[in-house]
A = this chain, B = another copy of it.
Amino acid sequence: MNFINKLSAAWTANDSLLCVGLDPDMAKLPPQFQNDPDGIFKFCTEIIDATADLACSFKPQIAYFAALGAERQLENICSYLRANYPHIPLILDAKRGDIGATARQYAREAYDRYGADAVTVNPYMGSDSIEPYMEWSERGVIILCRTSNAGGSDLQFLQVDGKPLYQHVARLVAQKWNSNGQCALVVGATYPEELAQVRAIVGDMPLLVPGIGAQGGDIAATVASGKTADGSGMMINSSRAILYATRQPGEDFAAAARRVALETRDAINLHRG
């Protein structure tokens, strides 16, 4: 089953548009994991077990592993996810971007080494920096369009023929780069009106939407602006608000993560119509 179909099946199976982001910041992990050489793996797999029936996807952020030299733990987390929850898409958040021969190496990293169903990539280097990923025809390519950070506007909001650059990226992907039907876009929740404009450009293409939770995006406005006609079409990501949900000392982190994931999934579903 290809990425888009697998995602669609997960939306239905778990009645969820929630993507759980795995950003294991060592300084924030519960103390029992901090001095354990396998602590990141144990923490992330407990989070996965606690939320797998509430999520439409899991999204490890590779930077947190790369900073620590913890690639082996990331490999093991991905293997665990594929073995135990093969119906939940695994998205490697790596935001890679490089020319052909090098992009192919990054595709091998994401798809072959980590077994990801999809990987995030950066559009700045253009079509031939995206094409190598298409050789893995069952996998997804999730292209940065409009990002949720303040500085995102520096380039993405520059006006090109009277429209902001991010809309040109949306159009390029929808009309040219998505010829194999493997593409999705990253569009932040912090600007719901812009999410609506991207949705109008790209039809039913899935959108990965960061920016709710710790980043403060509004769930009702996000869902209203980004959903497709059938009330799906999005992977709405929350990372820190779920991973570090414990409110008082002694509270079980996995139970707290489950509580926030459930609240978030249900808050999203309230607005799907």
Contact = CB atoms under 8 A, between A and B. Distances in A.
A67 B105 contact: yes
Q: Is the interface of A mostly helix, strand, loop or mixed?
A: helix
A103 B62 CA distance: 11
A97 B98 contact: no
A106 B67 contact: yes
B144 A124 contact: yes
Interface string A44-83: 0000000000000000010110111101000100000000
A149 B124 contact: no
A151 B128 contact: yes
A255 interface: no
Interface stretch (A3-11, A34-42, A153-161, A197-205): A153-161
A246 interface: no
Nearest to A154: B126
A169 B150 contact: no
Contacts of A103: 63
A117 B152 CA distance: 26
Given A67-B113, A106-B66, A106-B67, A155 B98 contact: no
A229 interface: no
B105 A126 contact: no
A147 interface: yes
Contact of A150 (B68, B96, B128, B144): B128
B63 A109 contact: yes
Q: Give the bracket for the number of chain A residues in contact with chain B.
A: 35 or more
A105 B66 contact: yes
Nearest to A172: B154
B66 A100 contact: no
A214 to B, nearest CB: 9
Interface string A98-124: 111111011011001100000000111
Interface of A: 23, 25, 61, 63-64, 66-69, 71, 75, 95-103, 105-106, 108-109, 112-113, 122-131, 144, 147-156, 158-161, 165, 168-169, 172
Given A66-B106, A69-B71, 4 more contacts: A63-B103, A67-B108, A99-B151, A123-B124
29 contacts: A25-B101, A63-B96, A63-B103, A63-B105, A64-B105, A67-B108, A67-B109, A68-B113, A95-B122, A97-B122, A99-B148, A99-B151, A122-B122, A123-B124, A123-B155, A124-B144, A125-B149, A126-B149, A126-B151, A126-B152, A126-B153, A126-B155, A126-B156, A127-B151, A128-B150, A155-B168, A158-B165, A158-B168, A159-B160
